[in-house]
């Protein structure tokens, strides 16, 4: 995939997410989600974005189904009932509304975070005169997951080298994570502290304007896309809420 401007990617994530949120109908959300998943898969990001989205969405979907699917008090059309449990059409529809809308949001912004280059984003934010600390925190968040994984692996290896035997199966995994949690947090805090010192020593966060070495390619086509998409979104929101209101 060609390297797109971070604002183009952001627009591509914001427009479907906001539009779906506004429309708030599960069939529309389902169609948008299907299109998004298709686009993500076609762009080659499917292997990273979709499992991550599944990890975020699976517990959410399950809790929506449990709370609204079984206990939706406003539900009229009862499909199945046992004791306090009432599965109603309205409840399932509400759960589907909420779940699919969130799914569009999660997939769109995960696709954005996996496709944007943190360095590009910082460069663009610098150009927009966003305070460098804010830009740095935002970009560090995008690079945090691999750093945490690497650190957790090193701690786990050190613990095993000192005799911790990690058993197979879920109990073993849970026990291993429990052993790693405190050292991992302490190590990350320590690392953040020392990195802050070095960033400061290299003049980061100093008063005065910051410049950027990295050039982020943009094109008239991308600019047209961004403005058109945002204008259409605003126009749609005005018409939609005008009609609904």
Partner 1 sequence: MRLVLHEFLYPGDAAPALRDIDLHVLPGTCTLVAGGSGAGKSTLAKVLAGVLPGRHGGDLTGHFELGGERLEFTAAQPAVPASTGSPARPAVVGTRPRINPAAWNREIAYVGQEPSAQLSTVAATVAEELAFALENAGTPRPEMLRRVQETASAFGLTDLLERRPTELSGGELRRVTIAGAAVLEPKVLVLDEPTAGLDATARGQVEGQLQHLLGKGIGLVLLAPGLGGVGTLADRVVLLEQGRCVWAGPRGHAAAASEALEVPILPDPAAAAPEPALRRITPGVPKVATAVSLDRVQFSYGTRLKSLRLRPRSRQTQTVEPPKVLDGVSLAVGPGETVVIAGANGAGKSSLLRHLNGLARPDSGAVSIRGSDIGPLTTGEVAAEVGFLFQNPLDQLFERTVRREVAYGVRAAGRAAHSSRTADIGTSGTGTSGTGAFWTGPRPAAANDAVQEALERCGLREVAEAHPHELPVSQQRLVALATVLARRPAVLALDEPTVALDRPGVDRLAGAIRDEANRGAAVVLVTHDLDFAYATCGRLVLLSAGRILADGPMAEVLEEHFRNGRFVGVEAPEAWLRWRAERRSGPD
Give the residues lining the site for partner 1 (CB under 8 A). Answer: 117-120, 122, 126, 132, 136, 139-140, 143, 147, 154-155, 157-176, 179, 182-183, 186-187, 190-191, 194-195, 197-214
CB of 242 to partner 1, least distance (A): 43
Q: Identify which of residues 51 and 172 has a Cβ nearer to partner 1 in the complex.
A: 172
Classify residue 116 as exposed, middle or buried by CB count within 10 Å of its CB (0-12, 13-18, 19+): buried
CB of 175 to partner 1, least distance (A): 4
Separation between Cα atoms, residue 69 and residue 243, nearest integer Å: 30
Q: Identify which of residues 173 and 232 has a Cβ nearer to partner 1 in the complex.
A: 173
Q: Identify which of residues 24 and 153 has a Cβ nearer to partner 1 in the complex.
A: 153
CB of 12 to partner 1, least distance (A): 21
Q: Identify which of residues 168 and 243 has a Cβ nearer to partner 1 in the complex.
A: 168
Under 8 Å between Cβ of 136 and 123: no
Under 8 Å between Cβ of 89 and 72: no
CB of 200 to partner 1, least distance (A): 5
Separation between Cα atoms, residue 102 and residue 56, nearest integer Å: 10
136 CA to centre of own chain: 18
Give, as one character, the DSSP assignment of residue 167: P
CB of 52 to partner 1, least distance (A): 21
CB of 133 to partner 1, least distance (A): 12
Q: Identify which of residues 29 and 126 has a Cβ nearer to partner 1 in the complex.
A: 126
Cβ contacts of 163 within 8 Å, gap of 6 or more: none
Q: Which two tokens stand for residue 46?
A: 């499917």
Phi, psi of 244 (to 5 degrees): -65, -45
Cβ contacts of 146 within 8 Å, gap of 6 or more: none
Separation between Cα atoms, residue 167 and residue 176, nearest integer Å: 9
Separation between Cα atoms, residue 9 and residue 205, nearest integer Å: 27
Q: Identify which of residues 27 and 205 has a Cβ nearer to partner 1 in the complex.
A: 205
CB of 226 to partner 1, least distance (A): 23
Q: Identify which of residues 27 and 167 has a Cβ nearer to partner 1 in the complex.
A: 167
């Amino acid at each position: 995939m060609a390297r797109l401007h971070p604002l183009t990617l952001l627009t591509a994530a914001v427009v479907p997410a906001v539009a779906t949120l506004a429309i708030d109908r599960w069939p529309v959300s389902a169609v948008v989600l299907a299109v998004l998943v298709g686009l993500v898969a076609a762009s080659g990001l499917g292997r990273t974005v979709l499992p991550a989205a599944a990890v975020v969405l699976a517990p959410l979907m399950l809790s929506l189904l449990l709370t609204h699917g079984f206990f939706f008090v406003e539900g009229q059309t009862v499909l199945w009932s046992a004791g306090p449990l009432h599965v109603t059409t309205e409840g399932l529809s509400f759960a589907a509304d909420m779940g699919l809308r969130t799914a569009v949001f999660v997939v769109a912004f995960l696709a954005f975070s996996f496709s944007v280059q943190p360095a590009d984003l910082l460069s663009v934010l610098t150009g927009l005169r966003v305070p460098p600390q804010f830009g740095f925190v935002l970009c560090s968040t995008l690079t945090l997951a691999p750093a945490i994984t690497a650190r957790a692996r090193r701690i786990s290896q050190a613990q095993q080298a000192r005799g911790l035997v990690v058993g197979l199966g879920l109990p073993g995994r849970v026990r291993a994570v429990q052993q790693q949690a405190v050292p991992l947090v302490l190590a990350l805090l320590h690392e953040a502290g020392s990195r802050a010192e070095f960033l400061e020593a290299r003049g980061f966060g100093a008063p005065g304007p910051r410049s950027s070495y990295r050039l982020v390619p943009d094109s008239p086509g991308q600019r047209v896309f961004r403005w058109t998409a945002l204008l259409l979104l605003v126009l749609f929101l005005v018409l939609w809420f005008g009609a609904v209101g």
